[in-house]
Amino acid sequence: MSNKHAIRGQRLTAAGVSSTGAIAAIDGPTLTEGIKRIVQEQTLSPAAVETPLTTVVPKGSEIVLVQGNVESALTGGGTTVTWSLGTVADPDKYGTAGFPTQADSLAKNSKSNWMAGEDRVRLAADETIVLTGCATGGAADGNTALTNGSVRIVVIYDTWAPLADA
């Protein structure tokens, strides 16, 4: 039995991160086609209840990892007693302070480490990840803006690199 189709494959692996998303790896038939793993890193100094990352995760992508670490203590007030990473509609979609064990905190070095399981979901639309000052438990917005402090956020996602034109 003959094999009509040759197996071709390339893998590019690179180190680095950026606020706009650095390519960490490409798996595909060439070094410019296939699946791209993107690593985005940004440090936010919030001055609102919700502070968005500057770069959106594009439609069709699958988010693999979302991490946050308070580098300089945050200040809340009122019902704002913790922070979460998610979307405007779902503030703690990607975790809250202490995640995977929730612990309300605005303190320096409070962390959230969310990782997708085998049931990763392909995004149906572009998604903006938001740092939110939250009420107890992290699932709902607090009533006072986060001020002072900063949070380092890392987002890793897989997306596709289109096939080259014929």
In a domain, 114, yes or no: yes
Evaluate whether 145 touches 46 at the Cβ level (below 8 Å). Answer: yes
pLDDT at position 1 is 39
Tokens of 9: 């494959």
In this prediction, residue 60 has a pLDDT band, given cuts at 50, 70 and 90, of: very high
In a domain, 48, yes or no: yes
In this prediction, residue 163 has a pLDDT band, given cuts at 50, 70 and 90, of: confident
Which residue range(s) make up the domain with 135? 41-154
In a domain, 124, yes or no: yes
In a domain, 139, yes or no: yes
For every residue of 28-69, DSSP letters joined together read ESSTTSEEEEEEEEEEE---SSEEE-SSPBPTT-EEEEEEEE
Evaluate whether 94 touches 102 at the Cβ level (below 8 Å). Answer: no
Evaluate whether 94 touches 88 at the Cβ level (below 8 Å). Answer: no
**In this predicted model, which residue has the larger pLDDT, 15 or 122?**
122
In a domain, 128, yes or no: yes
Neighbours of 143 (CB within 10 A): 13
**In this predicted model, which residue has the larger pLDDT, 119 or 43?**
43
Domain count, the chain: 1
In a domain, 94, yes or no: yes
In this prediction, residue 4 has a pLDDT band, given cuts at 50, 70 and 90, of: very low
In this prediction, residue 10 has a pLDDT band, given cuts at 50, 70 and 90, of: low
Q: State percent of the chain over pLDDT 90.
A: 66
Whole-angstrom CA distances from 67 to 64, 112, 152, 153, 154 are: 10, 5, 8, 6, 5
Please name every residue paired with 22 in a beta bridge, in sequence order, or none if there are none.
39
| Residue 138, φ and ψ in degrees, nearest 5 | 85, -5
